[in-house]
């Protein structure tokens, strides 16, 4: 349903950054409006075990944690709206965001927490088999590979976590990495190397995903050794791509300053962007830490900075 909303603090995105910003803004009596898209809760909703979010001695599930944050945000007075913002106008005050429902959202200040999304290898065969054995989410699709052989590509925390998660279903998990060392945390690496179901293929790139057309299934991956160029085929039933993320910032291109990779530039030690009154928090501006807890922390900063911005703007207007 089309809606038009005005708020002192308009928040885009509903991951840990957006929800924390909304909790702080609501508790400051700023009556925030939070607009979220089709994946409320963001990347955490496609995570399983969360062991590093402070406050929980026992393992919690990502979707559960986000549900708790959402309930807290709503309980303190956040107005949550589902819409996909397709246009922004930062040249006028209040700022205007337009949704694909036709909804207009005005904000005296704006907090952008639109996060990031999984990156793909860019192979034509990868696209062809997406949903037919190629996936970027072990949590979502691991179940389909019970007793089968799968491969994960990547060498970061995500790749290692996905490989370990897949051992719950698959009989064999290959981890394919383009270098000879992983960038994942040591603790995760230790767990990976200790797991009998996992075998790492070092120094190889995925050149092609092999499979049939009728039925459309993955049957293997073609790999190239990065040192000698020698090709080898590894039979697998599925491939999980876990090679990092791209920030969801295309909407803000030309409106806000960004770095080469599309992350929104914020001032050091702040969530302030290149436009006064527009703040950015979480993965959309952070390519270094990218943790739920750091996203939540920067969401808190954004709300406090928005509050300060509104107060100083109001007192400046009153003095005129």
Task: Indicate the residue among 122 and 215 with the shorter CB distance to ligand NDP.
Answer: 122
- Nearest approach in angstroms of CB 225 to ligand NDP is 13
| Residue whose C-alpha is closest to residue 19's, from 30, 11, 27, 28 | 11
Please, what is the angle between helix 292-319 and helix 16-27, to 10°? 40
Yes or no: say if 33 and 126 are a contact pair by the CB < 8 Å rule. no
Catalytic residue, from 89, 100, 140, 259: name it.
Answer: 140
> Which tokens in the block code for residue 72?
């807290």
From start to end of the chain, where are the E strands?
4-12, 33-36, 49-50, 60-61, 79-82, 85-89, 95-99, 104-112, 116-118, 134-135, 149-153, 172-176, 198-201, 204-213, 216-225, 231-235, 238-241, 245-247, 278-280
- Nearest approach in angstroms of CB 243 to ligand NDP is 4
Give the separation between CA 128 and CA 57, rounded to whole angstroms: 42
228 carries an active-site annotation: no
97 carries an active-site annotation: no
- Applying CB under 6 A, the residues found at the interface with ligand NDP are 52, 121, 153-159, 161, 178-179, 183, 205, 243-245, 290-291
- Nearest approach in angstroms of CB 34 to ligand NDP is 23
Q: Is 62 exposed, middle or buried (0-12, 13-18, 19+ CB in 10 A)?
A: buried
Task: Indicate the residue among 183 and 224 with the shorter CB distance to ligand NDP.
Answer: 183
Q: Is the peptide bond before 215 cis (omega within 30 degrees of 0)?
A: yes
Yes or no: say if 107 and 8 are a contact pair by the CB < 8 Å rule. yes
> Which tokens in the block code for residue 236?
């697998």
- Nearest approach in angstroms of CB 184 to ligand NDP is 7
Give the separation between CA 45 and CA 139, rounded to whole angstroms: 9
- Nearest approach in angstroms of CB 18 to ligand NDP is 18
- Nearest approach in angstroms of CB 244 to ligand NDP is 4
Q: State in Å, rounded, how far the first CA of the chain is from the last one.
A: 40
137 carries an active-site annotation: yes
Task: Indicate the residue among 155 and 297 with the shorter CB distance to ligand NDP.
Answer: 155
Catalytic residue, from 79, 83, 141, 286: name it.
Answer: 141
Task: Indicate the residue among 255 and 290 with the shorter CB distance to ligand NDP.
Answer: 290
Active site residue ranges = 137, 140-141
């Amino acid at each position: 349903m089309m809606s038009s909303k005005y708020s002192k603090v308009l928040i885009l995105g509903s991951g840990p950054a957006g929800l924390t910003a909304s909790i702080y803004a609501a508790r400051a009596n700023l009556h925030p409006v939070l607009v979220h898209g089709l994946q409320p809760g963001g990347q955490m909703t496609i995570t399983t075990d969360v062991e590093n979010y402070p406050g929980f001695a026992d393992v919690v599930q990502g979707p559960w944690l986000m549900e708790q944050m959402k309930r807290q945000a709503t309980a303190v007075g956040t107005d949550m709206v589902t819409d996909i913002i397709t246009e922004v106008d930062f040249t006028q005050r209040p700022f205007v965001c337009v949704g694909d429902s036709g909804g207009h959202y005005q904000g005296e200040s704006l907090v952008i927490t639109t996060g990031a999304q999984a990156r793909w290898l860019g192979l034509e065969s990868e696209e062809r088999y997406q949903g037919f054995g190629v996936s970027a989410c072990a949590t979502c699709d691991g179940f389909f590979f019970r007793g089968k052989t799968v491969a994960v590509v990547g060498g970061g925390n995500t790749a290692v976590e996905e490989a370990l998660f897949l051992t719950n279903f698959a009989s064999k998990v290959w981890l394919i990495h383009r270098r000879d060392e992983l960038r994942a945390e040591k603790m995760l690496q230790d767990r990976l190397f200790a797991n009998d179901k996992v075998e790492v293929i070092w120094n190889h790139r995925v050149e092609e995903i092999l499979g049939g057309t009728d039925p459309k299934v993955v049957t293997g991956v073609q790999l190239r050794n990065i040192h000698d160029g020698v090709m080898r085929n590894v039979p697998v039933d599925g491939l999980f791509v876990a090679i990092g993320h791209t920030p969801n910032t295309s909407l803000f291109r030309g409106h806000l300053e960004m770095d080469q990779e599309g992350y929104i530039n914020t001032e050091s030690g702040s969530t302030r962007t290149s436009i006064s009154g527009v703040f950015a928090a979480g993965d959309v501006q952070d390519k270094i830490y990218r943790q739920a807890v750091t996203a939540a922390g920067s969401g808190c900063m954004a709300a406090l900075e928005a509050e300060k911005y509104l107060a100083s703007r109001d007192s400046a207007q009153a003095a005129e």
